[in-house]
A = this chain, B = another copy of it.
Amino acid sequence: MPSNLNRSLIKNLDLFKSLSDAALDSILETAQVYRLLTGDAAFRQGEVADRFFVLLHGHLKVVQVTPDGEQVVVRYVNPGDVFGIARAMRRPNYPASTLAVQESLALSWPSTEWDDFTATNPHFASNALQTVGQRLHDAHARIQELSTEEVEQRVARAILRLVDQSGRQTPEGIVIDFPITRQDIAEMTGTTLHTVSRLLSAWKDRGLVISGRKRIVVCAVDNLIRLAEGPHTSTPQPTDAKV
């Protein structure tokens, strides 16, 4: 029972929205605090999904390993996000590993309590459905990108998404607020670190980004958006044709 946690912070999380104060207290009663150092895993792919989590602070990445050892980054977990809810979807094991990319703090409960939570508060299950629905939507967007777009568009989109979720304004531009490598971006977009490096170099030359070791700053968001939208094969501009 973590006593010194900021209750209002937790109260505003999507998952717990519209829970009564009493219900919230009772839930927090059984929460366990997880402190993760960079590189630590909250859980690993294949393990029995016996706990679920809410991230309070820091950033995690969710990675899937293929049978022949290649990795795919499924998503990044931001503060406020729920993760590790495999059991709620009746999947016995975690489908991916979740690793801290910086020092992070999470709350966690035994998966067995999920049903209690949903029984206690009808909104809980509905909120979860919404969350998973959002993830499904994101996954479909990604499938569409992988199926129809070129590497440069995909990388541009991936970076824009990161900026959107975890961007912090600086004098130079918007920086992605946690350490991220070329390899990570390659694993998000289905390409290689070499290609990502070349793209970032090219963009740097054009003044769109600044980037260094595990660090990316976007200077010209608009231009990046244009890249993400592709080569504009033929947008027939109706100039001044009469209707």
A27 to B136, CA, bound (A): 27
B residues less than 8 Å from A139 (CB atoms): 136, 139-140, 143
Interface-lining segment among A124-132, A176-184, A201-209, A219-227: A124-132
Q: Which of A205-233 contact B (CB under 8 A)?
A: 229-230, 233
Most buried by B among A122, A140, A190: A140
Q: Which of A123-164 contact B (CB under 8 A)?
A: 125-126, 128-130, 132-137, 139-140, 142-144, 146-148
Chain A contact residue count (CB 8 A cutoff): 42
Q: How far is the CB of A149 from chain B (nearest CB, A)?
A: 8
Interface-lining segment among A34-42, A87-95, A103-111: A87-95
Check A134/B66 contact, CB under 8 A, given A72-B143, A140-B95. no
A36 to B146, CA, bound (A): 31
Check A74/B129 contact, CB under 8 A, given A146-B190, A190-B148, A233-B68. no
Query: Are B95's CB and A130's CB within 8 A?
Result: no
Check A89/B140 contact, CB under 8 A, given A70-B148, A148-B72. no
B residues less than 8 Å from A95 (CB atoms): 137, 140
Query: Are A146's CB and B148's CB within 8 A?
Result: no
**A97 adjacent to chain B (CB < 8 Å):** no
Check A89/B132 contact, CB under 8 A, given A140-B74, A230-B68. yes
A137 to B95, CA, bound (A): 8
B residues less than 8 Å from A165 (CB atoms): none
Residues of A within 8 A of B (CB): 64, 66-68, 70, 72, 74, 86, 88-91, 95-96, 118-119, 122, 125-126, 128-130, 132-137, 139-140, 142-144, 146-148, 187, 189-190, 229-230, 233
Can you list 15 A-B pairs with a CB-CB distance of less than 8 A?
Answer: A66-B144, A70-B147, A72-B147, A89-B129, A89-B132, A90-B130, A90-B133, A91-B133, A125-B129, A132-B136, A136-B136, A139-B143, A142-B143, A146-B146, A148-B190
Give the 9 A-B residue pairs with the shortest CB-CB distance, closest first. A89-B133, A147-B190, A139-B139, A146-B146, A125-B125, A90-B130, A70-B148, A132-B132, A72-B144
